[in-house]
A and B are shown apart, each in its own frame.
Chain A
Amino acid sequence: MKLLTREALLSFRRAPLLSVLSVTTIAFSLFTVGLFGLVAINLREALRGIEERVEIVAYIFRGTPAETIAIATQDISAFPEVRDVSFVSEENALRRARAELVEFRDAYQDLQVNPLPASIEVRLKEGYRDATTVGRVADRLKGFGFIDDVRFGREWVQKLDHLRNLTGLVGLVIGLAFAAVAVVIIGVTIRLTLLQRAREISIMRLVGATNWFIRGPFLLEGALKGLLGGLLSLALCYAGYRLFRDNSGGTLSGLIFFRLQHMVLIIVFGVLLGLGGSMVSVGRHLRHV
């Protein structure tokens, strides 16, 4: 084991330029994946905020008895998709309009009759805020006899849906592409090391070293490079994150960084990339040296 580590570390000293090159390429590949991940988790965080506000508003016919509305509200609360239901009376609607729609304050000020209907506002549980579910719940609300009209931002909900799916898809594609690039680069650098050390390997074979003994240092070397690349990419991601957050003048002060498990995941991913690249390369080229 000691020898294995020594041989693996020796290659860093023997070919410092090559080693630095492969560590940096891994780091940059993971950095790009990491940056995308950061954008994705921040986007998701932001989407969650927006989604919180997704609601369905059901306007109620004037003159509907309060008990009918109370019973219906209870029924609606029992829908599996529904998180909470609130009743907004005509007076409350007017009060809210006066407070929120400042431009029309004067218009609302001297009204003889309240033009605003009472309504039921329905908020959905997390995971049920996609366009299909929202539409389905809205249709069910329309089934109540005292409901005049149901409004929900169908387009808005659909756009949100698309955006989220797109984010996931683009992230996956870019991530995979960069992972492939990293594997190829590591494979090439390991191959160069292999060729550089062909003589040494042939001598190792000659004196009776087993294949695993010969492979071991190369695999460890790849894993080590992956580890270093992963750590470096995290450092770069953190630098990028701080740069954005601190220079945004406060608008992006809510940006979040990776949680511990994300960071561990990136490092593990780096190690696997390094290991994978060297395994492919060693497997393919060791026979020829």
Chain B
Amino acid sequence: MIRFTSVYKAYPNGAMALKDVTFHVSKGEFVFLTGHSGAGKSTIMKLLFAEQRPSGGEVRVSGYNVSTLRPDDVPRLRRRLGVVFQDFRLLEDRTAEENVAFALEVTGARTDTIAARVMRVLTQVGLSAKSRAYPRELSGGEQQRVAIARALVNDPAILLADEPTGNLDERATRGVFQLLRDINNGGTVVVMATHDLDLVRQTVYRTIEMRDGSLVYDSDVDEAAAEAP
């Protein structure tokens, strides 16, 4: 589903954000992306949803080659992804259900199917009772659930979550994390960038650690190597 092959990313000021990063993520996986701020987690995320292009190497996401993606194909790629951020990125002047419906409307979905699909995902994230609430009337955890519902409404193959619990208290963090696990259990690939190591240690999910733009640890590869005789 995701394949990074010797990926480099240099910024115009000359700083190297990624150095020779190679990994791949298969169907159905849940992957933690960890590391300090500036280690390259967000750059990987931005390459995944084609917000940026790699300076070298190849990035393939859900059948698209991000390095050579035509501008017309960027929206097509994004419709196969769901993206969630630390700051939720909801529209303040629209209700929860309008925020979710917005994602369907902009992709030209059939109008008569929108209401039902919106309700389905809001129920999935446990917010069907608050569908008419505006973001300011919701708690942080609830706002992030709306954002997740919006990411899910297009039935994405991959869900990208960039520090989704960064702004949440412990209880809300547990709730949102559980929701992401449920989504992964439904077959969706989840890539979650986080620096919350407690969360990472609680589970047995694959972990990729970044440091200064380099991939320094991949539990899949390194544990397999450790187990080898």
Contacts and interface: CB of A to CB of B under 8 A. Distances in A.
B228 interface: no
Contact of A206 (B72, B83, B93, B108): B83
B154 interface: yes
B76 interface: yes
Contacts of A211: 71, 75
Contacts of B89: 199, 202-203, 206
B105 A206 contact: no
A2 B89 CA distance: 25
Interface string A195-223: 00001101111111111010000000000
Interface string A238-265: 0000000000000000000000000000
Contacts of B103: 207-208
B107 A209 contact: yes
A14 B91 CA distance: 13
Contacts of B111: 2
B106 A207 contact: yes
Contacts of B108: 213
A203 B91 contact: yes
Contacts of A199: 89, 91
Contacts of A202: 89
Contact of A207 (B72, B93, B150): B150
A178 B226 CA distance: 76
A208 to B, nearest CB: 4
A223 B208 CA distance: 51
B106 to A, nearest CB: 4
B195 to A, nearest CB: 22
A204 B99 CA distance: 11
Contacts of A210: 72, 75
Interface in B40-87: 49, 71-72, 75-79, 83
A208 B91 contact: no
B12 to A, nearest CB: 15
Interface of A: 2-3, 14, 199-200, 202-211, 213
